Structure 1
Amino acid sequence: MAPMMLGAALNPVNSSIISVSLVPIGAAFGAPPSRTAWLISALYLATAIGQPVVGRLIDLFGPRRLFLAGTALTGVAGVVGMLAPNLGVLIAARVLLGFGTCSGYPAAMYLVRSEARRTGRESPAGVLTALAVTTQTIAVVGPSLGGLLIGVGGWRATLAVNIPLAIAGLFLGARRIPATPAPPRVDGRRRLADLDLPGMGLFAVGLVCLLLFLMNPGEGDWYLLALVVVAGAGFTWRELRARQPFIDVRVLGGNRPLLTTYVRALLCYVVTYAFLYGYTQWTEEGRGLTASQAGLAQVPLFATAIVVSAVSGRHAAVRGKLLVGAVGQITACALLLLLHSDSPLWMLLGIVVVLGVPQGLNSLALQNSVYHQADAERMGSSAGLLRTFGYLGAIVASAANGAFFGRRADTGGLHHLAVFMLAVSVLFLLVTLFDRSLRHVGEQRDADAGQTEAR
């Protein structure tokens, strides 16, 4: 559990720790929010591409090698970011960080599912709950940790923290992750030949073009959407004909519950990350808190989400969690409309407590959905795709923050962002409400657990 949890935490912690660093980084390099937003999107772009790619490699070669290589790259990214002389180098460091942290979550999901297949028993609910807490809920500690690090060593400390984390990950991974036998040379060549490099390339091109459009939508950039359509069509054509497709669109297309889960993840994380970045920036620039204070103001969100995940993790059924989570998101977004530049501190803390409930419920329910809905032979890449859709939501959230805030995160921009988040939250509720397949996810497992307890 130790290397699984640490490796899976590297990406979400780095994705959220930057939220309190954006203002001091912008001040250090003279960059407005529309430019520092690339620090968010760069990591998410690398992650959105890298997660399913690395997940597929894990499916073929096992988790140990990919975990150790990714963790080492995370340490390198920490060094580059700590020494970055300008915003461009810092963005490059975030790209490296995105690729480096791609292996932790797919490796963990692969290990959990493969152990269940080996023993013939479902993994204990506590294992999936601990993983959910680590992968998403603990992301909320990022702003608090970032505020503390900035207070001690400035914004560069938020990049340097990856160095000791990577060292710990390499040590634990080398000692605890089961070694995968090296494939024979002939078999290894066959596995390399199974890599769908054209499919991966088209997948990456489509995501890059989509990101570039979302970050700066305008009349002169509509060609990017055309390129997204062309890359998407080419990707589908390739995957339908590949002997070992990167993403088996036939299987995925026939698995409507899993596709709906991915769409739900996209909507969920648009709201989560728009709140995480937009609200945190507003508390600094619109409300006047320091970076350290803004980070500490997120502690109730972290604590609430941890408690909610721990309590609700005892049951595998997901529909109730998602419905309550959707209502919680709607409530939190509506409360943002009540904020102004001199809102009392208790009100700021109350809103993050409200958001902590859906944060703890949704991440656990989405992960459990993929665990039960995905093909066991492609668990690594399926788990990676869950992250991809989540980070596509984060990219949309980053673009929305840049669009609504402009040069400064003021109260008017926050209210416009809140209306956008409210609309997405309602759509998330509707997608969940009308998804009948959710009624069966995890119910049998809960029934079996009840019978065991009764005996």
Structure 2
Amino acid sequence: MHARSRWLMVSIGLGIMLNPLNSSMVAVAIPDIQNAFGLDYTTVSWIVFSFYVSSAVAQPVMGKASDLFGRKRIFLAGLVVAFAASLLAPLCSSFGWLIVLRIIQSVGTSMMVAVGMAIVRIHITEKRSAALATLSVFLSGAAAIGPFFGGLLTSNWGWEAIFFVNVPFALLGFFLSWKNIPEERSTDSTSSLREWLRRIDVPGIVLFTAGLVMLFIGLLSIEHGGQINVTGIVLAGIGLLLLVVCAAYELRVGTPFIPLRLFVRYPAITRVNMEFMLANLLFYAVFFGLPSYLQQVRGIDEFHAGMLMLSLGVCSLAISPAAGIWVGRQGAAPALRASAILMVFGAAGLAILQPDSGLFILFLILAAFGIGNGLNGVAMQAALFAAAPKEVIGVASGLFNTFRYLGTVLSSLLTGIVMSGSFNNAGFRTLGICLFSIALLLTILSLQKRGPVEHS
């Protein structure tokens, strides 16, 4: 690979890693943020909700924007947005403003993820597969080290450090990207803006986002002080209604934000997405829930909680190459079954966890989920390619990532509801029982025979 190509890889890698890094660093910082603003766990979990809901919406939207405004422009703009949000977020005096800046940070980092892979595909012609694999290492590696990095920063400099640390990365990334990403043909910004607004399905985005947020607000507030909150029921009902209206609208519109017709036409794709959503729900419930349990229930400090959580990402990364070989030889089904069974054992471990359970038991639980996630990440991609005909693989891949984010958001929703505002050992064991039930459902789905691709 030529020197210019290597510098381009470094430039793109520094940008795209900010999204998984910032989504994962916060896992260990949640208790510190909770204490700083005097919040219960249910409220502070919006620091997770807001980031993933924003990413789920921003990435496909910004991918379309890059086709019209230019990929380099979108990538550089993303770095500027991420820089500004990361610089201002630690200065917030209220949790509400922190959430606003967290959303802006998510949009900025999503702009880079949405176009980074495309830039590499277009401008690197030699050893392209190795280049794309390298970008995947940036993404998965940043997610893996995020909890450890977050624990290290938070234990020494407080929760604010997980935002400030982005500033030098964004500055360096902007300089390298401005210098190394090739210029593209300029376009008419006015006509491009009109075309972009026509193509992105604004009503569908608004209905989907508003419905999801209202549903989550309602579900999280249904139970308050041991009593049923009527307002929560009403809000959840409104959110559900908005999602139904969104579904009806998306089935009629020509260029939908969520291509629901694909589900009807290709049931195999529907199944893969549902399995992927459940697997991410399981993994991220542990990813975000266990650090709070370790700190608030077990009294482990941020640094050592981050060290323990590092095993989750390391196990996931370590198994991925072997998973690729296994899936290449025997197909996706065996790896998906093994992944589901490992998560059953991991969830069972959470369900029987005791306050005096040793760290080795926690490591085994994390290893089960980490290895399961590594197998799942490779096998689910293969299952998607097997289920989706070539003419819809682009749309199917985008939808696949949307379900990844939905699983992540649902994991935080489930944790927030089960914990009812504060972490304790009994609540965490209840969460383990819920995850055990979901893992069993995922196992049942994985054991069913996979049908052939359905062509029109």
On whether the aligned pair clears a TM of 0.5, the verdict is: yes
Q: 1:137: Cα distance to partner?
A: 5.8
Cα separation, 1, equivalents of 2:141 and 2:426: 29
- How far off is 1:349 after superposition? 2.2
Equivalent of 1:153, from 132, 157, 160?
A: 157
Q: Is the 8 A contact 2:218 2:231 kept in 1?
A: no
Match of 1:93 in 2: 101
- AA aligned opposite 1:277: F
For the pair 1:330 / 2:344, whether they are aligned, the reply is yes
Distance 1:34 1:319, change over 3 A: same
Task: Map residues 84-123 of structure 1 onto 2, 5 A cutoff.
Answer: 84-110=92-118
Task: Identify the residue that residue 198 of structure 1 maps to in structure 2.
Answer: 203
Question: Residue 21 of structure 1 corresponds to which residue in structure 2?
Answer: 29
2:64 aligned with 1:64: no
* TM-score, scaled relative to structure 2: 0.84
| Match for residue 170 of structure 1 among 165, 171, 174 | 174
CA 1:367/1:77 → structure 2, altered by over 3 Å: closer, same or farther?
farther
- Give the structure 1 partner of residue 411 of structure 2: 397
Measured in 2, the distance between the counterparts of 1:43 and 1:357 equals 25
Task: Find the counterpart in structure 2 of residue 31 from structure 1.
Answer: 39
CA contact (8 A) 2:70 2:186 kept: no
> Do 2:25 and 2:150's aligned partners in 1 also have CA atoms closer than 8 Å?
yes
Change (3 A) 1:252 1:407: closer
Bigger mean CA deviation after superposition, 233-242 or 389-398: 233-242
**CA offset digits 1:101-140 (Å, max 9, x no partner):** 2233332454577789x99x9x63x556545444346423
Residue pair 2:351, 2:432 contacting (<8 A) in 1 also:
yes
Q: What is the DSSP-based 3-state SS (H/G/I as helix, E as strand, rest coil) of the residue aligned with 1:244?
A: coil
Change (3 A) 1:372 1:292: same
* Cross-structure match for 1:449: none
Find the aligned partners of 2:19 and 2:55 in 1 and give their Cα distance. Answer: 8
Aligned match of 2:282: 271
TM-score normalised per structure 1:
0.84
How many matched pairs? 436
The 3 A distance-change label for structure 1 pair 243 and 28 is closer
Q: Which amino acid aligns with 1:288?
A: G
In 1, are the aligned partners of 2:54 and 2:103 still within 8 Å (CA)? Answer: yes
Alpha-carbon separation, structure 2, partners of 1:431 and 1:88:
40
* Residue equivalent to 2:242: 231
Task: Provide the C-alpha distance between the structure 2 equivalents of 1:319 and 1:168, rounded to a whole number of angstroms.
Answer: 43
Amino acid at match of 1:139: A
2-side partners of 1:56 and 1:340: how far apart?
49
Residue segments in structure 1 that go unaligned for 5+ positions in a row = 442-455
**Alpha-carbon distance between aligned partners in 2 of 1:249 and 1:61, rounded to the nearest angstrom:** 27
Q: Report the 3-state secondary structure (helix = DSSP H, G, I; strand = E; otherwise coil) of the residue aligned with 2:200.
A: coil
Task: Answer yes or no: is the 8 Å Cα contact 1:151–1:292 preserved in 2.
Answer: yes
For 1:403-444, what per-residue CA distance to the aligned partner results, in whole angstroms no more than 9, with x for missing partners? 22234322111110001111111222222332515x889xxx
The alignment status of 1:2 with 2:16, answered yes or no, reads no
Question: Could you tell which deviates more after superposition, 13-22 or 58-67?
Answer: 58-67
> Percent identity at matched positions?
29
Q: Does 1:418 align with 2:432?
A: yes
Provide Cα deviations, 1:240-283, integer angstroms capped at 9, x if missing partner.
Answer: 44343334433453233332222122111111111012111111
List per-residue Cα deviations over 1:193-239 (Å, max 9, x = no partner): 33322222222222222322333235433333443443334334433
More moved, 139-148 vs 309-318: 309-318
1:358 CA displacement: 1.2
- Equivalent position of 1:386 in the other structure: 400
For the 8 Å contact 1:137–1:360, the answer to whether it is kept is no
- Kept after mapping to 2: 8 A contact 1:51/1:385: no
Moved more, 46-55 or 188-197: 188-197
* Amino acid aligned to 2:284: Y
Aligned partners of 2:34, 2:196: CA distance in 1, in Å?
45
Question: Quick check: 1:211–1:395 contact (8 Å CA) kept in 2?
Answer: no
> Contact 1:8/1:135 (CA < 8 Å) preserved in 2?
yes
More off after superposition, 182-191 vs 349-358 = 182-191
- Identify if the C-alpha distance between structure 1 residues 81 and 373 changes in structure 2 by more than 3 Å, giving closer, same or farther: farther
Query: What secondary structure is seen at the aligned counterpart in 2 of 1:297?
Result: helix
Contact 2:279 2:373 in 1 (8 A): no
Question: Does the alignment pair 1:79 with 2:90?
Answer: no
1:161–1:375 Cα change, 3 Å:
farther
Match 1:140 to one of 116, 138, 144: 144
Q: Aligned ranges for residues 436-455 of structure 1 at < 5 Å?
A: 436-437=450-451
Q: Deviations over 1:390-409 (max 9, x none)?
A: 22222222122222223432
- The one-letter amino acid paired with 1:69 is A
Aligned letter for 2:272?
Answer: T
SS at match of 1:313: helix
Structure 1, residues 320-368: CA drift from partner, whole Å, max 9, x if none? 3322211111111111233222222222223222222012122233345
1:365 aligns with 2:365: no
Q: State the match for 1:451 in structure 2.
A: none
Residue by residue over 1:162-203, the C-alpha shift from the partner in whole angstroms, topping out at 9 and shown as x without a partner, is: 212222332343344454423356963445433322222222
Structure 2 gaps, min length 5: 1-8, 223-228
What SS is found at the alignment partner of 2:114?
A: helix
Name whichever of 1-10 and 200-209 sits farther off: 1-10
With 42-51 and 243-252 compared, the bigger mean Cα shift is at 243-252
CA distance in 1, matches of 2:206, 2:139: 27
AA paired with 2:205?
A: M
The answer for the alignment partner of 1:208 in structure 2 is 213
Residue 57 of structure 1: CA displacement?
2.9
Q: Indicate if the aligned counterparts of 2:214 and 2:235 stay in contact, CA closer than 8 A.
A: yes
Listed one character per residue, the Cα deviations across residues 49-82 of structure 1 (whole Å, up to 9, x for unaligned) are 2233223334555533322222221111111212
Aligned ranges 1:427-442 → 2 under 5 Å: 427-434=441-448, 436-437=450-451
Which one has more relative contact order, counting CA pairs under 8 Å at least 6 apart? 1
In structure 1, how many angstroms separate the alpha carbons of the residues matched to 2:176 and 2:391? 26
